[in-house]
Amino acid sequence: MPKQQKLRVNCFSLSLDGYGAGIDQSLQHPLGMHGMELHGWMLHTRTFQTMIGQDGGTTDVDDQFAQRGFHNVGAWILGRNMFGPVRGPWPDEAWKGWWGTNPPYHVPVFVLTHHPRAPIEMEGGTTFHFVTDGIHAALKAAREAAQGKDVRVGGGVSTVRQYVAEGLVDELHLAISPVLLGRGEALFQGQDWRALGYRCAEHVATEKATHVVLTKGD
């Protein structure tokens, strides 16, 4: 029997008080104020160092979770804030993402937006497609592009919450960092994830994060 294609969230860093990003996202603060503090668990890993073109890095439990996030992924879905700080209609074609000419995805990426834009083909196999007709259309296109592999929702918080609310996410890996943000974008607020069918299937603590894997039951 063919392996079931999953919709996954991986390596989603979360503060102790439940925020996945800080306030006031900008070019200087892509993850909002103090948002980078959530990702300390990943920055030292070999997976992350490879992503940014560097050698070295640890091969510990944190790295194992980072590696798992890229295994068997055939397409990504991103909210517009994850693509960049530009708001409203696209002023021009200059902004092509946070990651330079060779983004770390290397597969088709579907960006949710209200404003049309032509696809952007980048180095390394990444092509950004801009979807204006909602989360279901983006998922349909991503599943087709993934060719049987899984689809990964990269964020941000609003995008994850929308897919969770529809019961579409099969598995979520949350990396809960020992950091308080105080304010920001809350992942769980106003949603009853237990009632939506999610259960904790795995948890392990490291120095910089508690890794929790939630899966959706029948």
- Sign of the four-CA dihedral 157, 161, 163, 167: positive
pLDDT digits (tens, 9 = 90+) for 113-166: 999 999 999 999 999 999 999 999 999 999 999 999 999 999 899 999 999 999
CA distances to 42, 51, 62, 119 from 48, in Å: 6, 5, 10, 26
- Does 54 score more than 90 pLDDT? no
Cβ pair 77, 159 in contact under 8 A: yes
Average pLDDT, rounded, for the chain: 93
Q: How large is the average pLDDT for residues 46-55?
A: 88
CATH of residue 189's domain is 3.40.430.10
Q: Please tell me the pTM assigned to this model.
A: 0.93
When divided into structural domains, the chain yields a total of: 1
- Residue 28 has what pLDDT? 77
Cβ pair 102, 123 in contact under 8 A: yes
Q: Which domain holds residue 23?
A: 9-83+154-216
Residue 46 lies inside a defined structural domain of this protein: yes
- Does 98 score more than 90 pLDDT? no
